[in-house]
């Protein structure tokens, strides 16, 4: 775990044990939670827990980010490490949010290139899903690589923001930054595919219900992970929430 008062993050390689949940809260609005899952993976993999998740705040707003590595944790660690390092600048001013997220994605891709360049296969093929959710200026700005997700909850109703696509690897292009309006009491969550898979086919509704019912972000994040684990989580699961 990393934490600085304005940023909290959880890294999968710190949490390799089955049936354990790690969590952290930032102020009274945001929290992150992560687990390897309840059961061993039933597919080939390199590292036991390839997820990472963080939440950060600053004068300009809030940032949630989640990564899910493939062929090892290397790309996820590199990408989210850059996000953590650049979060203070991203949230410290009044620059253009779309351009700022695009610049952050370029930096994350460059970090992945550097991280995998000297590795042997399969780690040299490491890639990562990545979702960045920036709340600033009354809007939610989202960019997604791979199958991580962002959801806006409003009065118990769900809106999935952004679309899945190619993963972030050394050859990835820029993905579209999607913008939607935020109202008072709107909630935001980001999660890995472990969350969406084990919440079931109606995962947006179940996720939005939890966000609407809970006022404590740490409770909401842990509750979502417990639901996924009860659903049979045989994969790493991570979530970040902003209430």
Domains and CATH numbers, the chain: 2-242 (3.60.40.10)
Instruction: Classify strands 157-160 and 149-154 as parallel, antiparallel or unpaired.
Output: antiparallel
Residue 145, pLDDT score: 98
Give this prediction's pTM: 0.96
- CA–CA gap between residue 74 and residue 91 (Å, rounded): 26
Phi, psi of 172 (to 5 degrees): -70, 140
CA 232 from chain center: how many Å? 21
The residue ranges of the chain whose pLDDT is under 70 are 1-5
Residue 12, pLDDT score: 96
Cis bond upstream, residue 2 (ω within 30)? no
Name the average pLDDT for the chain.
95
Segment 135-151, tens digit of pLDDT: 999 999 999 999 999 99
Segment 51-94, tens digit of pLDDT: 999 999 999 999 999 999 999 999 999 999 999 999 999 999 87
SS3 59: coil
Contacts of 8-11 with C-beta under 8 Å, sequence gap 24+, read: 8/32, 8/54, 8/55, 8/56, 9/52, 9/53, 9/54, 9/55, 9/80, 9/84, 10/34, 10/52, 10/53, 10/54, 10/238, 11/52, 11/77, 11/80
């Amino acid at each position: 775990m990393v934490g600085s008062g304005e940023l909290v993050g959880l890294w999968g390689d710190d949490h390799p044990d089955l049936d354990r949940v790690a969590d952290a809260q930032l102020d009274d609005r945001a929290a992150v939670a992560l687990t390897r899952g309840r059961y061993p993976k039933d597919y080939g993999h390199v590292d036991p827990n390839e997820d990472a998740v963080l939440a950060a705040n600053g004068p300009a707003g809030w940032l949630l980010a989640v990564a899910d590595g493939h062929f090892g944790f290397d790309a996820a660690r590199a990408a989210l490490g850059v996000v953590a390092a650049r979060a203070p600048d991203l949230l410290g001013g009044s620059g253009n949010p779309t351009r700022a997220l695009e610049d952050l994605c370029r930096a994350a891709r460059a970090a992945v290139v550097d991280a995998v360049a000297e590795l042997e296969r399969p780690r040299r093929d490491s890639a990562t899903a990545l979702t960045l959710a920036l709340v600033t200026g009354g809007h939610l700005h989202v960019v997604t690589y791979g199958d991580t997700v962002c959801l806006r909850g409003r009065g118990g109703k769900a809106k999935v923001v952004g679309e899945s696509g190619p993963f972030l690897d050394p050859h990835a292009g820029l993905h579209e930054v999607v913008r939607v309006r935020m109202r008072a009491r709107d909630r935001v969550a980001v999660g890995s595919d472990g969350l969406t898979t084990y919440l079931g086919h109606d995962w947006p509704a179940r996720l939005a219900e939890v966000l609407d019912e809970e006022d404590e972000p740490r409770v909401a994040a842990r509750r979502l992970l417990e639901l996924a684990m009860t659903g049979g989580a045989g994969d790493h699961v991570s979530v970040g929430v902003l209430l």
